[in-house]
Structures are given as structure tokens and as C-alpha cells.
Amino acid sequence: MMKKEEKEEFIDEVGVKSKGKFKFILIIIILLLIIAGLMVWIIKYDVLKKDDKKVSSKSNDKVILKHSNPQTVKSEGVYITDVSDVVDEVMPSIVSITSKTIIDSGNYGFYFYGGKYTTEGAGSGIIVSENEKEIFILTNYHVVKNTDELSVKFIDDKSVDAKVKGVSERNDIAIVSVEKSKLDSKTLDSIKIATLGNSNELKVGNGIIAIGNALGYGQSVTTGVVSALNREVSTDEASQDMIQIDAAINGGNSGGALLNSKGEVVGINTAKYSSSLTSSSSASIEGMGFAIPISDVENLITDLISGKDDEEGLLLGVEGYMTNSTELSSYGFPTGFYVSGIVKGGNAADSDLEIGNIIVKADGKEITSFSSLKKVLNKKNKGDTVKLTIKYVKGNEYKEKDINIKLEK
């Protein structure tokens, strides 16, 4: 029979051994959990890495994105948009433009002459074409308007003198040319021609990228979406239908590129809304930038590069007045342009348009003012056709029909 002291000693020994075994098992379990967690992390990382490789690839030196929008990765609940691949491809096509204008301040009184001084302006441009001797850069007309000197800085920071090749004031675009003989081989190898896209395919909500020489500090990139299409915007140069975007547009961005997610130029950054508000309001206008749709001016760009003059507002060759005055509207005249005369030898001379007709629409747009008719005509190039919807009197009522007039003169 075991003695009491031996029994207690045996229990203590078993207890100590049992506790040691439990600790050992617990350590093993913890180690297994850590190893399992590391394996799960490694698998997830490998999947993300493979997906990242699938998102963008290069084919024929042009970035092709898997989706229509830039690559988006979710990290800890935050969405990060990466457009670096697109920007790397397009940046060699973008230039900074610096202009100098000599201002004559004139006389101030009989004895004092203010003298002359030079002002500088900053803008952006897009390399759109080249030939054996020149490189052609697209920008806004207001960037080069009334300038005495122009210089262009390329991606390698090389600056050279440039000259205006052709302008279209009514469309607020211009072509600037640089002689290749002024550039060394390093600069020529570093630049590239931009790819023009189709702005007619844009949809509200599409992702876009804006690149330009913001405030003259050099090229910068902003991103956003298409906020609206066909917004009528009036500037000092023209009234046009533009693409509205929420990407930041600042002074110096004018003439820069608006890109789709494939890196194609779909617009020319041109304007933004700003406001000067009273101190009683803390509101401000933000996220309202505008760009000229590239498809609206693509043919004109080709003409300006080839040296053809832009037809500054083709004319119908008619005389008349608007009918929406109080006096005329009270007599039941339809709102539109009343044709009181047709110019001999003008574009309308050999058409079906007659004196007494009222032009109520042009290319489907209602004519409510002289400027609305001029706006439609300003978008036309020589040889284009405009469709006029006219109302004419038949019996005791107005009838409606369409007339096509070719703008050749």
C-alpha cells in the first residue's frame, strides 16, 4: 500500500507533467495558425499580382487597358486610381508653350510716355503631325493670339522658337510649327505623335485624364470624368459645344490634351468656370472645366497643317431679321430668321429658299437669335451642307419643310 507522502508526490509529478504537455500543444497550435495565415496572404498576393499583369499590356508600343476605365485597385477600403501607364505613353506628345507679347502703354498726358513692356503667357500643346522639315503642334488660338514670340518646350526640357502655322479664331484652335533642324537627335527621339480618338463615342461618366502646363509650372496631370456633353460655352473667341469635365483645369492648361482611358486625345482643354463671389457666400465654382471635342475640329486641323486658310464663318447669302420681337410675335409669326432678301451669287441663290421663308432650325437646332444661326454656320467648312428647316405660308397657315444648302462660297 502506497504511503501518503508517496501518493502526494506522485500527484504533483503527474500534475507538472500534464501542464507541460498542455503548453507544448498550445505552442504547436499557435505556430500552425501563423503558418496558415502566411500561406493565405501569399496566395492573395500572388492572385493580385497576376491580375495586375492582366490589366495592362503593351502591343505595338501602345498601352491597351483591360477595361475602359483606368486601373483601379481596392486597398484597405480606399480606391486608388492609377493612370501612370497611360501618362507615360502620352507625355512625350505634350509640350509647354510660352508666349511673349510687346505692349505699348502709350502716352499719359503731354509730357509722359509710358513706353513698351513685354508680357509672358503660358499654354500647352499636343504634337499631332510631322513632315520631313517640321513638327506640328495643336493648341488654342487664344494661347497664340497677338503674340510676338513663341517658344515650345519638349519632354526633355529642350526649348526652341516656334511660329504660328494657321489659326481658326471661330473654333479657338491653332497649329504651331517647329523646324526639325532646330532640334538635336536626342529631342527628336524623345518625342512622339499623339493618337487622336473619337470624341463622339464619349459618354457621361467616362473616365478622363487632363495633361497641361498648369500655371506655367510645367506638365501636370489631373483626372476625373465626363460631367456633360454638348455644353454651349462662350469665350472671347467663339461660342462652341464643349465637353464638360470635373478634372482640374487651370491657367496654362489651355491647349493641353484631354485623354480617354486608352491614351487617345478626345479633346483640347480650353476653359473653366470661375467666380468672384461676395463675402456673404463661402461657395465657389469647382470642377467645371471644358474641352473642345477633337472630332469637331479634326478635318480643320488637317487643313491648317497643310496651309489652307480657315473660312471664318461661311455665309448663307441672305438678308433678313429675327421674328421673335414683341411686335412680330403678336402677329403670329413663328420664331426664326425671316428671309427678306437673297444675295445674288450667294450660297442660297440657287437653292429652294425663297423670300418670305422663316428659318426655324439649322441642322436640327432651333434658331432663336442671330448668334444661334451663326453658331451652326461657324462649324461648317467649305463644301459642307447645312440643313435648314423653314416655314412658309400656304393658304392661311404655315407649312414646314427642309432645304439643303451647300456652302461653297
> Which positions ≥6 away from 80 have C-beta within 8 Å?
72, 73
- Helices in 93-150 by DSSP H: which ranges? 141-144
**Closest Cα partner for 386 from 377, 397, 375?**
377
Told to judge if 254 belongs to the known catalytic residues of this protein, a careful annotator would answer yes
CA dist 15 and 24 (Å) reads: 14
Told to judge if 172 belongs to the known catalytic residues of this protein, a careful annotator would answer yes
Q: Which of the 8 DSSP states describes residue 365?
A: E
| Torsions phi, psi for 46 (to 5 deg) | -65, -40
CA dist 9 and 4 (Å) reads: 9
Instruction: Copy the grid coordinates of residue 189.
Output: 527621339
**Closest Cα partner for 353 from 338, 366, 363, 367?**
338
**Closest Cα partner for 337 from 385, 394, 377?**
377
Burial class (CB in 10 A: 0-12, 13-18, 19+), 307: exposed
CA dist 104 and 122 (Å) reads: 20
Number of Cβ within a 10 Å radius of residue 74: 8
**133: helix, coil or strand?**
coil
Told to judge if 85 belongs to the known catalytic residues of this protein, a careful annotator would answer no
**The one catalytic residue among 142, 199, 227, 296:** 142
**The one catalytic residue among 99, 124, 129, 172:** 172
Residue 264 CB-half CA count within 13 A:
17
CB contact at 8 A, 193 and 236: no
The C-alpha angle 341, 347, 353, rounded to 5 degrees, equals 50
**The one catalytic residue among 99, 129, 254, 372:** 254
Active-site residues, by number, are 142, 172, 254
